[in-house]
Chain A
Amino acid sequence: MNTEVLEIFRQAVEDPGKEVREWKEKKGGKVVGFLLTDVPEELIHAAGFFPFGICGGTVRMDQVEAHLQFWSCSYVRNSLALALDGKLDFLDGLVIPHTCDTTRMLMGIWKHVRPLPFMDSFRLPRQVGRPSAKQYVVGELRRIKDRLDDFRGTEITDEELSQSFKLYNSNRNLLRKLFNLHEQNPASISNKDLYTVVKASMVIEREKLNMLLSELVSVLAENAGTPNDKTKIFISGTFLEPLDLLNYIDESGGAIVGDDLKNGFRYIESDVAEAGDPLEALAERQLKRIPSASYDIPENLRRHFLVKTAQQKGVQGVILLHVKYCEPENYDYYDNIQALEKAGIPALRIETEFGDTSLGQLSTRVQAFMEMVGGE
């Protein structure tokens, strides 16, 4: 069932550069990479560039040692290693969102070792509760748009922005449908396939993605079958990595019904308003995203969000994924777990690394946790 279209997504994740290389060859367009995922991709897309999400991959790590300390987060190390090893040689540009000290400092290093024609940072605000924040984000978006205008040679029009907003909203809407199908009937698509599709959505041309997602959603909806019981799990963290981790949840009869991950539901949870000022709309979306460790949102504090969502969805257990050396996530951990404990929601913390393939111990811990929270 539905294996054909799913296979395309799986292959895109297996070889993230495949689709974009083909696109570049065919269209001759420019590719602007980004680090996950607090980035106004719509602006890049509206300029006619291919926004490419750098999602990690298997790569030799020896070259990166000369540029980044081993105690920097493995996502950033892995990304730079990919660049150093020529695995991102299709990039014409790069946008780094400032979500932590490491991403703040990475641009200078990257510029030095692998300069690209277009390099910029999305300097996210670290407070979002006061009026000054929105004004600033709009200004920052305008600055990035101006730079993209310059890089392209002509101004991005409102019409182009509107088209991109529509396309991205449609992508997100289809991905949300997929999450919904999975939540209603976990047997329709495995956890691993679901998150594979999200990951693939960052490396497939957006127009093509829309067709693939439409097909997938309709095939799955037709074959929905009868809902069956699975252990409901919420995943909290920065990144879901490695994807193989989800095999254990699949095998243990778990269904992920929510997350706050940069490469999960948080990526597609909300849309950009299609009416009104486009930059204001983009700013609005960014400021109201699911809370993450990058900043606390006074009216939607992260730990409260976790508890509230877990309760609403009847979650039986929360898995806290901690990418080793991720500072912001680490500072949130204790208060998050305290809030969950207080609400009587079991939680398991596991440490992961990008590019790490030895999952042996994790499997035992995840399976034991699943058994504990799944048992009556």
Chain B
Amino acid sequence: MSEKKTFKTAQLMKEMMKKYYEDGAAAKERGIPVAWVTAVSPVEILYAAGVFPYYPENFGAVAAARKVADKLSVHAESKGYAHDLCGYARCGIGDAYADEHPIGEIVKPEVLFCCNTQCGSLPKWFEVASRFYNAPYFLLDAPLIGNEPEELCTSYYKEQLYEMISLLEKITGNPFDYDRLAEVLHLSNEACRLWNEVLDTAALKPAPFGFFDACFHMAPIVTMRGTQEAVTYYQALKEEVDERIKEGIHAIPNERFKIYFDHIPLWPKLRWFSDLFAAHDSLVAVSQYTHSWSYSFDLNRPIDSLAEQYTEEFVNRYFDYRLQLKMNFFKKYNVDGFVLFSNRSCKPNAFGLYDKRSILSEKTGLPGVVFEADMSDLRFFSESQVLAKLEPFFEQLGSS
């Protein structure tokens, strides 16, 4: 495999994330409350309220990427949390009980905010954590919606945003600052816009940037959207990607095919997958996953806009909507095939994939495959089984 030229911004990312974790660890001393929050949550409200938002999912992903997910998990499993539960949750719960912390200790929450659009595992994990750390837990509850947004669900969510704000006012002792919220939303819009511009370059053929690059560069859009740092970061990344386009530096050496990938990557096998696809001249160009952070808030109606955009996320949609979304991505990125990851850790994204695969192939004529594994736990990964699914797929690509 030819060695890939690393992004200059990778160094900036390391520094930023290091500072983010240091800030989290130091928050308590500085009198800043640490709030646990989930990846697809209106974190803009937390930034506006001046609390420190901490993402335990990111902790799980880092543990997975560093291949210690199973080591942390066993501490949860010994308490009776089964190994088929979400890998991130097992890492988080495991770390709470562990004596050793191979990736540093998870930051303890003073309050926990969870939005359940992503799944039902996060709220259950946060409930467990709320009992363990003896901190209040607040759920932003979002009923699943179909193709059309529903007033019932939007207004329910909006009502809860006000309930959330009241709780934050109590915790911080300050009235909520709506002017500050407008600033944060503006920064969030900027970061999302830049992030999506970067993602879109994967549609060029050959492309300077693909899904596995996006997995590497996504941490700031998840954890820091709403801050100037995130905007600065994605400006730098965008510039670098533009330079690469000019200089003809491509994401993989010999791009012949573009692939759609669903959904979260296998963190501990990121490199293995990236090399495997590259070896077959295939660029994984797009996944709904990295497009989760594509907000564009209306600053004139901030709360309504937050309620609409967070409940209308694809993770909160029924089967048919998600099918259509995938097909839209197929078209926009002009993909030649699709790979669907049946992720044991992520039931809401995995259930339905078997039928989606056949429907998608039928509707688009594209080759597609489903494979089984886990996003974080290598005990559920079998190289030979994955290859047994992917090799015939690559053959199909080549012959089409």
- A133 CA to B163 CA in the complex, in Å? 11
Cβ of B350 and Cβ of A104 under 8 Å apart?
A: no
Give the Cβ gap from A350 to chain B, nearest Cβ, in Å. Answer: 12
Give the Cβ gap from A116 to chain B, nearest Cβ, in Å. Answer: 15
The contact string, 1 if C-beta is below 8 Å from chain B, for chain A 4-17, is 00000000000000
Cβ of A105 and Cβ of B123 under 8 Å apart?
A: no
What is the interface of chain B, defined by CB distance below 8 A to chain A?
A: 79-82, 84-86, 89, 116, 119-121, 123-125, 127-128, 131, 139, 141, 143-144, 152, 156, 159-160, 163, 318-320, 322, 342, 344, 347-348, 350-352, 354-355, 359, 372
Cβ of B160 and Cβ of A132 under 8 Å apart?
A: yes
In the complex, what residues of B have CB within 8 A of residue A328's CB? Answer: 120, 124
14 A-B pairs with C-beta separation under 8 A: A66-B354, A67-B354, A69-B351, A101-B347, A105-B319, A106-B351, A112-B355, A126-B120, A135-B159, A293-B124, A327-B85, A332-B124, A334-B128, A337-B80
- A136 CA to B145 CA in the complex, in Å? 14
Cβ of A139 and Cβ of B354 under 8 Å apart?
A: no
Given known contacts A111-B319, A140-B152, A330-B85, is B163 in contact with A132 (CB within 8 Å)?
yes
A343 within 8 Å of B (CB atoms): no
The contact string, 1 if C-beta is below 8 Å from chain B, for chain A 122-155, is 0101110011110110011001000000000000
- A139 CA to B153 CA in the complex, in Å? 9
Give the Cβ gap from B15 to chain A, nearest Cβ, in Å. Answer: 36
Q: Pick the contact of B131: A123, A335, A349 (CB < 8 A).
A: A335
A325 within 8 Å of B (CB atoms): yes
Cβ of A132 and Cβ of B159 under 8 Å apart?
A: yes
Chain A interface extent, by class: 35 or more
In the complex, what residues of A have CB within 8 A of residue B347's CB? Answer: 72, 101-102, 105, 327
Most central of A101, A112, A125 by chain B CB within 10 Å: A101
A245 within 8 Å of B (CB atoms): no
- A113 CA to B354 CA in the complex, in Å? 11
In the complex, what residues of A have CB within 8 A of residue B127's CB? Answer: 296, 331
In the complex, what residues of B have CB within 8 A of residue A293's CB? Answer: 124
Cβ of A101 and Cβ of B348 under 8 Å apart?
A: yes
In the complex, what residues of B have CB within 8 A of residue A127's CB? Answer: 139, 141, 160
Give the 8 A-B CB pairs with smallest separation, nearest first.
A108-B319, A331-B124, A123-B143, A105-B351, A132-B159, A136-B156, A127-B139, A101-B347
Q: Pick the contact of A104: B125, B144, B160, B344 (CB < 8 A).
A: B144
Cβ of A334 and Cβ of B79 under 8 Å apart?
A: yes
Give the Cβ gap from B169 to chain A, nearest Cβ, in Å. Answer: 15
- 19 extra interface residue pairs, beta carbon distance < 8 Å, beyond A109-B319, A112-B359: A67-B354, A68-B354, A72-B351, A98-B144, A101-B351, A104-B348, A108-B318, A109-B351, A109-B352, A112-B355, A126-B120, A126-B123, A126-B141, A325-B84, A327-B121, A327-B347, A331-B127, A332-B124, A335-B128
A100 within 8 Å of B (CB atoms): yes
- A333 CA to B141 CA in the complex, in Å? 23
- A334 CA to B342 CA in the complex, in Å? 27
Q: Pick the contact of B152: A69, A101, A104, A143 (CB < 8 A).
A: A143
In the complex, what residues of A have CB within 8 A of residue B79's CB? Answer: 334
Cβ of B139 and Cβ of A331 under 8 Å apart?
A: no
Residue of A nearest to B161 (CB): A132
In the complex, what residues of B have CB within 8 A of residue A163's CB? Answer: none
- A337 CA to B152 CA in the complex, in Å? 38
In the complex, what residues of B have CB within 8 A of residue A107's CB? Answer: 318-319
Give the Cβ gap from B322 to chain A, nearest Cβ, in Å. Answer: 8
In the complex, what residues of A have CB within 8 A of residue B144's CB? Answer: 98, 104, 121, 123
In the complex, what residues of B have CB within 8 A of residue A98's CB? Answer: 143-144
In the complex, chain A residues 304-335 whose Cβ is within 8 Å of any chain B Cβ: 325, 327-328, 330-335
Cβ of A125 and Cβ of B80 under 8 Å apart?
A: no
- A100 CA to B120 CA in the complex, in Å? 6
Q: Pick the contact of A108: B85, B128, B320 (CB < 8 A).
A: B320
- A333 CA to B82 CA in the complex, in Å? 10
Give the Cβ gap from B353 to chain A, nearest Cβ, in Å. Answer: 8
In the complex, what residues of B have CB within 8 A of residue A331's CB? Answer: 81, 85, 89, 121, 124-125, 127-128
In the complex, what residues of A have CB within 8 A of residue B128's CB? Answer: 331, 334-335
Cβ of B84 and Cβ of A71 under 8 Å apart?
A: yes
Cβ of A327 and Cβ of B156 under 8 Å apart?
A: no
Given known contacts A107-B318, A327-B124, A328-B120, is B81 in contact with A334 (CB within 8 Å)?
yes
Most central of A100, A108, A127, A143 by chain B CB within 10 Å: A108
- A105 CA to B315 CA in the complex, in Å? 11
In the complex, what residues of B have CB within 8 A of residue A111's CB? Answer: 319
Residue of B nearest to A322 (CB): B82
The contact string, 1 if C-beta is below 8 Å from chain B, for chain A 265-299, is 00000000000000000000000000001001000
Q: Pick the contact of B156: A106, A139, A332 (CB < 8 A).
A: A139
Residue of A nearest to B125 (CB): A331
Give the Cβ gap from A267 to chain B, nearest Cβ, in Å. Answer: 22
Residue of B nearest to A328 (CB): B124
In the complex, what residues of B have CB within 8 A of residue A131's CB? Answer: 159, 163
Residue of A nearest to B126 (CB): A331
- A307 CA to B348 CA in the complex, in Å? 32
Give the Cβ gap from B156 to chain A, nearest Cβ, in Å. Answer: 4
In the complex, what residues of A have CB within 8 A of residue B160's CB? Answer: 127, 130, 132
Give the Cβ gap from B391 to chain A, nearest Cβ, in Å. Answer: 21
Cβ of B319 and Cβ of A135 under 8 Å apart?
A: no
Residue of A nearest to B150 (CB): A143
- A132 CA to B82 CA in the complex, in Å? 33
In the complex, what residues of A have CB within 8 A of residue B143's CB? Answer: 98, 123, 125, 136, 140
- A126 CA to B140 CA in the complex, in Å? 9
The contact string, 1 if C-beta is below 8 Å from chain B, for chain A 320-361, is 000001011011111101000000000001000000000000
Cβ of A330 and Cβ of B141 under 8 Å apart?
A: no
Q: Pick the contact of B351: A68, A133, A136, A332 (CB < 8 A).
A: A68
Residue of B nearest to A123 (CB): B143
Q: Pick the contact of B82: A69, A125, A330 (CB < 8 A).
A: A330
In the complex, what residues of B have CB within 8 A of residue A101's CB? Answer: 119-121, 347-348, 351
Q: Pick the contact of A113: B81, B163, B355 (CB < 8 A).
A: B355
Give the Cβ gap from B262 to chain A, nearest Cβ, in Å. Answer: 14
- A12 CA to B159 CA in the complex, in Å? 45
Give the Cβ gap from B96 to chain A, nearest Cβ, in Å. Answer: 11
- A325 CA to B350 CA in the complex, in Å? 14
Give the Cβ gap from B32 to chain A, nearest Cβ, in Å. Answer: 25
Q: Pick the contact of B355: A67, A140, A327 (CB < 8 A).
A: A67
Q: Pick the contact of B116: A72, A108, A126 (CB < 8 A).
A: A126
- A126 CA to B156 CA in the complex, in Å? 12
Residue of B nearest to A65 (CB): B354
The contact string, 1 if C-beta is below 8 Å from chain B, for chain A 211-225, is 000000000000000
In the complex, what residues of A have CB within 8 A of residue B350's CB? Answer: 69
